[in-house]
Amino acid sequence: MILDAQCLLMDSVAIASATTTDSTGFDTLLATREIEAGEAVAVVINIEATAGTGGGETYRFDLCQSANADLSSDDTLYSTNTTFLASTSLTSGLRFALFFPQGLITKRYIGLSVVTATGSPTLTLSAYLVVGSATAQGVQHANNYSIIN
């Protein structure tokens, strides 16, 4: 798989406070470009380090779109379940993919938001855009995410 630096949304970003952390916005060039036409578009998330203080931290990952490059005033297109993504599930070395729902991207910029819900977050991750077939060796799960081997 070839990765382009332009597709890198987050590069070893430390999530260390209870807040929302937005990635850089990926510029689709036009709001009507339909980048997901023909093949699904996914965000692959690599958990690089964890140092949970008690295992009570929870995280939500949102795939979003915005008319603004900084992803302000964004629309959430897909959101994970915070119960599934407790810090005990997000171990160092875990890699998973979230897929943009086809046909819903209507704004110029797309990206990822990481929302911390509870606890004292201590997570470092990277995230990048890929076409769906780049996650083929993974296992697709019912809630629109894949665990990649």
pLDDT digits (tens), the chain, 149 positions? 445 667 888 888 888 776 777 777 888 776 566 666 677 888 999 999 886 556 677 888 899 999 998 888 899 999 887 665 777 778 888 888 899 888 888 888 888 988 887 777 788 899 988 887 777 655 445 454 555 54
How far apart, in Å, are the Cα atoms of 2 and each of 7, 110, 148? 10, 20, 16
Q: What is the pLDDT of residue 93?
A: 87
Q: What is the pLDDT of residue 105?
A: 85
Burial class (CB in 10 A: 0-12, 13-18, 19+), 53: exposed
- How many Å apart are CA 144 and CA 100, to the nearest integer? 9
- How many Å apart are CA 86 and CA 82, to the nearest integer? 7
CB-based contacts of 80: which residues, under 8 Å, 6+ apart? 59, 60, 61, 62, 98, 143, 145
Residue with tokens 């897929």: 99
